[in-house]
Structure 1
Amino acid sequence: MPPAPDPAPYAWTERTLVRDGVRLSLRDWGGDGRPLLLLHGLAGHVGEWDALARLLHADGHRVVALDQRGHGASERHPADVSRTAYVDDVLAVLDGLGLRNTVLVGQSYGGHAALLTAARHPARLAGAVLVEAGPGGITPQALADVGGWLRAWPVPFPSREAAVAHLGGGPVGEGWADGLERREDGLWPRFDPEVMCASLAENAARSWWEEWAAIGVPVLAVIGQHGFLEGEEYDGMARRLPALRGVCLPGTGHDLHLERPDVLHRLVTEFLAGTPCPGVDSKP
């Protein structure tokens, strides 16, 4: 049974950091325990993590969620949308908030940013949870399909109900609709489809197996039974990173963090229990 709603659903503080002139917006849930930084997927928004963030914060963790560049309340049209720029944003958040031995939790495109950060800067992290994310890259056709889908949204949506229905219905549609911006003529996405396509283009040009093999922190991969991560890609991940912990959630899809935040919370909690964090988990 899903957990009861938190009586204080907005128990977070909005913060803003600026890196190289790019505004980055955060939801800082506070907390004194192990730090976790949550990274949403392409065309997503920081609020997708609210259900999981409440649960993790209630456990005593320091929880922060980032609207990645090009999304939400962060800069919508950044000049640099390279994968390196997204990784450097993660580092800027860690530095700006003084987070040490952090565990990154990322879904899809946010999971890819977590993957690259773990490969390039393992000393900054204690671990990474990748939700429906891997190093395999995408095909040019897949990039075109994503762009076509985003451009085809019938915006403005006249009502929240219409948005939820178009975006898949149920908890997935609700989660996507939560990221929309209300204007006088209706509800609009808080991203530019062309920026999204430019952000994803690097993943259509190459794969990231070399970076995957360089990861030096514990990793949990969570995939949906009906998600985007193919079994062949996961098998390659496990071969190259033998210590990888992997879980497939039956009945879920690419947005499993919206479908089953309670189960994801349990999996993250179990992962954290086996991932030492100096200064937090260590006993005198």
Structure 2
Amino acid sequence: MALPQSDPDRYTHVQVAPGVELATIPRLAGNDSVPFVLVHGLASNARLWDGVGERLQMAGHDSVAVDQRGHGRSAAATCDFDFATLSDDLAAVIRASFNRPVVLAGQSWGGNVVVEAARHHPDLVAGVVCVDGGFLKLSESFDSLDQALTALHPPPLAGTPLTVIRERMTSHFADFPPEGVEGQLANFEVRDDGTVKPWLSLDKHLEIIRRMWEHDPFSAAAELTVPVLVLAVGDPDSPRGELVSRLVAAAPDGRAEWMDAHHDVHAQEPDAVATLMTAFAGGLA
């Protein structure tokens, strides 16, 4: 099936607070189907959703992929990364982009963000999709905050030539489609000397981890008023599977689908993810 031509570098900037703009990638299908707002994970960017966004458009769904504060083309948007502020950011994007409730889909840390956004702004949300996220509770996965900061510390990639990064990404993500590899490369700013640096600075990366340490996704999920779909990867009988089960049980209307895939399954398997998401949207009242 041929995908429509798209311009993934065509960003629209949305003001979400005084002096704060977020970069977004809109894809419009031009009908009244339930739209999607697509939210990336920690140190990632909106381009990881390219494959899914294109397939949603083909299925008749509008979507907007968002570069969250400090990430991608929103790297200049600085502030505290508390979940209430991030939730308000998404609410502003929804209001600026659509005139009806949306499905909020978030991957990894973005899954936790969309759960909070749906709790804070229930009138704007028709459903929630958590893509291998939403259930992340670092205070239960690590013995201490210091341990979490060490384990989740990003590698020192600033100053690496783009050619080297591209070679590494192409090898590491060999089973990803081309748009998935390009999405991974879009995590970096390319400097004039041909080297890269992550869009997300180290201090912001560590601050987000601190905020995640404080976050209780299960309490947030218990307050939701809309259906929740968790697309989880790995072994459902693992400790991770227990977290997924707790999120599904906490949500008033939750269910999980398990996939044998990479953590960035939305970039690796866009056909499968888009199919599950469109079916979920089709079942919303």
TM-aligned CA distance change 1:98 to 1:235, over 3 Å: closer
Determine what percentage of the aligned residue pairs are the same residue: 28
What is the CA distance between 1:190 and its match in structure 2? 1.3
Letter in 1 for 2:78: P
Find the counterpart in structure 1 of residue 263 from structure 2.
Answer: 254
Bigger drift between 161-170 and 50-59 goes to 161-170
- CA change 1:180–1:16 in 2 (3 A) is same
Partner of 1:281: none
Q: How does 1:101-180 map to 2 (within 5 A)?
A: 101-138=101-138, 139=142, 140=145, 141-147=147-153, 150=154, 152-165=155-168, 168-170=172-174, 171=176, 174-180=182-188
Contact 2:157–2:196 (Cα < 8 Å) also in 1: no
Residue 204 of structure 2, aligned match among 191, 195, 212: 195
Q: 1:160 to 1:224 in 2, by over 3 A?
A: farther
CA contact (8 A) 2:224 2:252 kept: no
Unaligned runs of 5+ in 1: 277-284
Pair 1:230-2:240 in alignment: yes
* Partner in structure 2 of residue 76 of structure 1: 76
In structure 2, distance between residues paired with 1:85 and 1:229: 30
CA distance in 2, matches of 1:166, 1:235: 32
Runs of 4+ in 1 over 4 A off after TM superposition: 226-229
TM-score by length of 1: 0.86
Moved more, 183-192 or 263-272: 183-192
Aligned to 1:240: 250
Shift, 1:174, TM fit: 4.7
CA–CA distance in 1 between the matches of 2:165 and 2:134? 32
Query: Partners of 1:245 and 1:71 in 2: how far apart?
Result: 30
Structure 2 residue aligned with 1:51: 51
RMSD: 2.3
Counterpart selection for 1:265 from 250, 261, 274: 274
Stretch of structure 1 that moved more, 8-17 or 230-239: 8-17
SS of the aligned residue for 2:69 comes to coil
Change in 2 beyond 3 A, CA 1:237/1:65:
same
Instruction: Tell me the equivalent position of 2:11.
Output: 14
More divergent stretch after superposition (109-118 vs 235-244) = 235-244
Distance apart, 1:219 and its partner CA: 0.9
C-alpha contact 1:137 1:208 (8 A) present in aligned 2? yes
Residue 215 (structure 2) pairs with residue 212 (structure 1): no
Give the TM-score taking structure 2 as reference length: 0.86
For structure 2, which runs of at least 5 residues remain unmatched after alignment?
none
The CA distance in 1 between the partners of 2:257 and 2:80, in whole Å, is 34
Deviation, 1:90, is 0.3
Q: After the TM superposition, which of the residue ranges 41-50 and 179-188 deviates more from structure 2?
A: 179-188
In the other structure, the counterpart of 1:24 is 22
Question: What SS class does the counterpart of residue 181 from structure 1 fall into?
Answer: strand
Change (3 A) 1:165 1:143: same
Q: Distance in 1 between matches of 2:211 and 2:222?
A: 19
Deviations 1:29-55 (A, max 9, x none): 123332110001110011111111011
Whether the aligned pair in 2 keeps the contact of 1:42 and 1:110 (CA below 8 Å) is: yes
Alpha-carbon distance, 1:65 to partner:
0.7
- 1:242 deviates by 5.4
Q: Give SS of 1:73's match.
A: helix
1:125 to 1:164, Cα distance in 2 relative to 1, 3 A: farther
Alpha-carbon deviation of 1:231? Answer: 1.0
C-alpha distance 154-75 of structure 1, shift in aligned 2 (>3 A): closer
Contact 2:226–2:253 (Cα < 8 Å) also in 1: no
Q: Residue 137 of structure 1: CA displacement?
A: 1.6
Cα separation, 1, equivalents of 2:215 and 2:95: 29
Kindly indicate whether the alpha-carbon contact (under 8 Å) linking 1:83 and 1:199 is maintained by their aligned counterparts in 2.
no
CA distance in 2 between counterparts of 1:24 and 1:229 reads 35
